[in-house]
């Protein structure tokens, strides 16, 4: 009986977890109504000084990965996100999907409450990630025909799926 209890406890304590164990360096998110995946990664070594987080979005219907960044202007204020990638599924040209004069904030849901994304080093991953204007930015691009079809409705919210 004690051996069984020890095995169960070690599986619970050492297994992959959600929320508090996840940081922005290893969190992976999924869209509820679309096959989009968002994964955080370490900020590139030669990134802008005010870049606090890096992520990528996999869009399997288009077989494309978009690269994203979170910046905090002047080192304080709200975290602002941006995303770039191929202009269309079969293009080598790189586009920015949020307009130059648009700088939407990134939000997270922590313990059931919405707040700015905490993108400081080692910060806890939110249960949900909200990137306002993401879906509309992709909608008005060359990806509309490959990402929106048959009831697939990509949006701005991603649910925490686990840690890598």
* pLDDT(131) > 90: yes
Name the pTM for this structure.
0.82
Judge whether 23 and 120 are in contact, CB under 8 Å: no
pLDDT at residue number 28 = 95
Q: Report how far residue 126's alpha carbon sits from residue 52's, in angstroms, rounded to the nearest whole number.
A: 15
Q: Report how far residue 8's alpha carbon sits from residue 87's, in angstroms, rounded to the nearest whole number.
A: 49
Q: How high does pLDDT run on average in the chain?
A: 84
Q: How many CB atoms lie within 10 A of CB 10?
A: 10
* pLDDT(18) > 90: no
pLDDT at residue number 75 = 66
Judge whether 59 and 40 are in contact, CB under 8 Å: no
The number of distinct structural domains making up the chain is 1
pLDDT at residue number 55 = 95
**pLDDT band of 164, cuts 50, 70, 90:** confident
Q: Report how far residue 86's alpha carbon sits from residue 142's, in angstroms, rounded to the nearest whole number.
A: 10
pLDDT at residue number 15 = 42
The residue segments making up the domain with residue 79 are 2-163
* pLDDT(94) > 70: yes
* pLDDT(2) > 60: no
H-helix or E-strand containing 138?
helix 134-139
Q: Report how far residue 80's alpha carbon sits from residue 26's, in angstroms, rounded to the nearest whole number.
A: 20
Q: Report which listed range, 10-19, 67-76, 77-86, is most confident.
A: 77-86
CB under 8 Å to 117, separation ≥6 — which residues? 53, 70, 79, 81, 105, 106, 107, 108, 126, 129
Q: Going along the chain, which residue ranges are E strands? A: 27-30, 37-41, 51-59, 64-71, 80-86, 94-96, 107-110, 113-116, 128-130, 157-163
């Amino acid at each position: 009986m004690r051996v069984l209890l020890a095995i169960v406890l070690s599986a619970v304590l050492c297994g992959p977890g959600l929320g508090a164990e996840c940081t922005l360096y290893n969190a992976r998110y999924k869209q509820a109504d679309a096959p989009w995946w968002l994964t955080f990664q370490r900020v590139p070594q030669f990134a802008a000084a005010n870049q606090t987080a890096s992520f990528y979005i996999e869009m399997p219907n288009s077989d494309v990965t978009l690269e994203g960044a979170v910046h905090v202007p002047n080192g304080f204020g709200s975290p602002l996100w941006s995303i770039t990638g191929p202009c269309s599924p079969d293009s080598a040209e790189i586009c920015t999907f949020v307009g130059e004069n648009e700088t939407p904030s990134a939000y997270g849901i922590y313990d059931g409450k919405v707040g700015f994304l905490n993108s400081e080093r080692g910060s806890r991953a939110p249960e949900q990630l909200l990137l306002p204007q993401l879906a509309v930015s992709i909608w008005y691009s060359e990806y509309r025909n490959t990402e929106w079809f048959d009831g697939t409705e990509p949006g701005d919210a991603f649910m925490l799926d686990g840690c890598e």
